[in-house]
Structure 1
Amino acid sequence: MAYQFIRVEVGNGNRAFFWHDDWLRIGKLIDITGATGTTYLGILRNAKVSEAVSEGRWKIRGQRNHHFHELHHRVQIEPVPNVANGPDKFLWRYDEGLYQDSFNAAKTWEQIRSKRPEVVWSRSVWFKQRIPRQAFLVWLAIQNRLSTGDRMRKWGINQGCVLCGERDETRDHLFFACPYSYTVWDRLASRLVGRRINPDWHDMLRYTQEGTANEMDMILTRLVFHAVVYNIWRERNTRRHQLGYQGTQQMIKTINRGIKNRITSLGYKFGHKFNGLLRRWFEVFD
């Protein structure tokens, strides 16, 4: 897979392999001719490009063989390796037709990944100020991949909502139709979302995408959304495994403290812009 990204610029020809490196920019010559090509062209299988040169000229056979006539011509029009040109250079493809002498993971990933249209909710999940572990959980929730009760029933396991006792635990119930989770969500986000706040998962997700033109409020709304989803899911699992219990007020305090810590860390990292964000959070919450 890596081979398709590598190209060789021949200098003195002492490093590049004649048969196995893409020095003609048409791929491996051994793949084009097969094993018999080494015999017809008179070049050993492990020869370097410089070994196909003698007295300043290409020294290969095959010009009279109709199978290799075109390849013979292609080699003949290529500049002959020369010591004055320095060592051979191995390059890595950054984009179509663009090669550099260093590897770049991001450029390579862009070329090999499966590309699809950007989903509308991406801005709600992968915004710059996110907390990675919380963003990952929100991504799972959006994909409806959390092991909620409705999904567990497919495996023969029956479980209701441990937060409110509802028999049918679904993603949409947990966020935020459940009285417990909606109490937390409403207390933390009501001043940011305003009259649009409600217990509907899809509506609140849409709001985090496009709800307000105010940049600070949008950052805070997304931080709160992530924090509530993450901590509700964590509380749900804690109760499921009988490891403890946290009331709504304690949960609200926990999330509030976490958001303040996140904003403070952003201030240390990015400067004074986020001091205003912290002041805004005090306004809408405290």
Structure 2
Amino acid sequence: MQVNDGRTAFFWFDNWLQTGRLIDITGAVGTCYLGIPRTAKVCDAVSQAQWNVRGHRSRHFRELHARIQREPVLDVEQGHDVILWKHSEDDYKPWFSSKQTWEQIREHKTTVIWSKTVWFAQGVPRFSFMVWLVVKNRLATGDRMRAWGLHQSCVLCGERDETRDHIFFACPYSFTVWNNLAGRLSGYRTDPDWEITLQFLTNNDLQYLDKILLKLVFQTSIYHIWQERNKRRHHTGYRSVDQLIRLIDKAVRNRISSLRYGADHKLGRMMQRWFEMTQTT
């Protein structure tokens, strides 16, 4: 709190002295030793153009009393008090920033290399969330369900042990879908190994639009393959490889059509590029 006339700032509960809240420094007994009521404003601690605060004889609060006495006495001509928001260490400004506040209260960790594969502007939020779960290996796959006493084989190909790495994309069904949609786009560098696939998506030499399209196809494929797996698991549907490919292709086209770029030609180029990559599939 930047104190000017002292009529807004609370003496005990606002950080007007730049030492923190005084009530936290002195505790509840501080109101008695300093002679300032608990609900007082800063201006209430001034009388006849000087600080009217007790405590100079107290061995507990003598230093705090001296600190207050060194503070310039309030001047009503300076205007109203100003609330300052912390933007960084020792940097306060008169406006609030949700970004700077979040940066200060969040737990900072090293950025993971796959972050831009999961979170990017053109992605679909629910697809991105699904991919994040897959990367963290948090889906209820067979190997995780075994901890609960349940056995699940792969309903897409019949493999006995269902794992994250098997579904994406060691499973013949899912790899056929992934390879069919991403093969030409990736320069025929698709691989059934999950770690190799994730590494390629994170670090490749593709052109800008191809990188976006490949990540979009990757996320859309994972989302719909997992949905197909769940439908088969609960006996609510069955799609062949070709049917699922057409569904994912349509979803990618719909997403491209929904995007709005600064220049319309980028949208057209992306749609044209996707058509070129899939016209023979």
TM-score (normalizing by structure 2): 0.95
**Which one of 16, 25, 40 corresponds to residue 9 of structure 2?**
16
1:130 deviates by 0.9
CA–CA separation in structure 2 for the residues paired with 1:90 and 1:183: 60
Counterpart position of 1:5: none
CA–CA separation in structure 1 for the residues paired with 2:36 and 2:191: 76
SS, match of residue 272 in structure 1: helix
Mapped pair 1:58 → 2:56: no
1:105 deviates by 2.1
Mapped pair 1:179 → 2:190: no
Q: Deviations over 1:131-178 (max 9, x none)?
A: 111011111001110000110011011111111111111011101111
Counterpart position of 2:274: 281
1:268 deviates by 6.0
Counterpart position of 1:136: 129
Question: Which structure 2 segments of 5+ residues have no match?
Answer: none
Mapped pair 1:74 → 2:72: no
Q: In 2 relative to 1, CA 35–268 (structure 1 residues): closer, same or farther, beyond 3 Å? A: closer
State the AA in 2 paired with 1:196.
Answer: R
Counterpart position of 2:90: 97
Q: Deviations over 1:80-134 (max 9, x none)?
A: 2222122222222121122233332222111111111111111211122111110
CA–CA separation in structure 2 for the residues paired with 1:267 and 1:39: 63
1:250 deviates by 1.0
CA–CA separation in structure 2 for the residues paired with 1:247 and 1:168: 22
Q: RMSD of the alignment, in Å?
A: 1.5
The aligned runs of 1:15-54 (5 Å cut-off) are 15-54=8-47
Mapped pair 1:220 → 2:213: yes
Greater CA drift, 84-93 or 47-56 = 84-93
Counterpart position of 2:81: 88
1:18 deviates by 1.0
Counterpart position of 1:145: 138
State the AA in 1 paired with 2:164.
Answer: R
CA–CA separation in structure 2 for the residues paired with 1:270 and 1:208: 26
Check the 8 A contact 2:186/2:206 in 1, yes or no.
no
Question: Which structure 1 segments of 5+ residues have no match?
Answer: 1-7
State the AA in 2 paired with 1:100.
Answer: K
Check the 8 A contact 2:3/2:16 in 1, yes or no.
yes
Counterpart position of 1:189: 182
Greater CA drift, 94-103 or 67-76 = 94-103
Mapped pair 1:164 → 2:157: yes
Check the 8 A contact 1:52/1:58 in 2, yes or no.
yes
State the AA in 1 paired with 2:7.
Answer: N
Q: Deviations over 1:25-60 (max 9, x none)?
A: 111212212233222222122211111101111111
Counterpart position of 1:256: 249
SS, match of residue 99 in structure 1: strand
SS, match of residue 44 in structure 2: helix
State the AA in 2 paired with 1:21.
Answer: D
Greater CA drift, 11-20 or 169-178 = 11-20
* Count of aligned pairs between the two proteins: 279
Q: Deviations over 1:190-214 (max 9, x none)?
A: 1012242221111111111112241
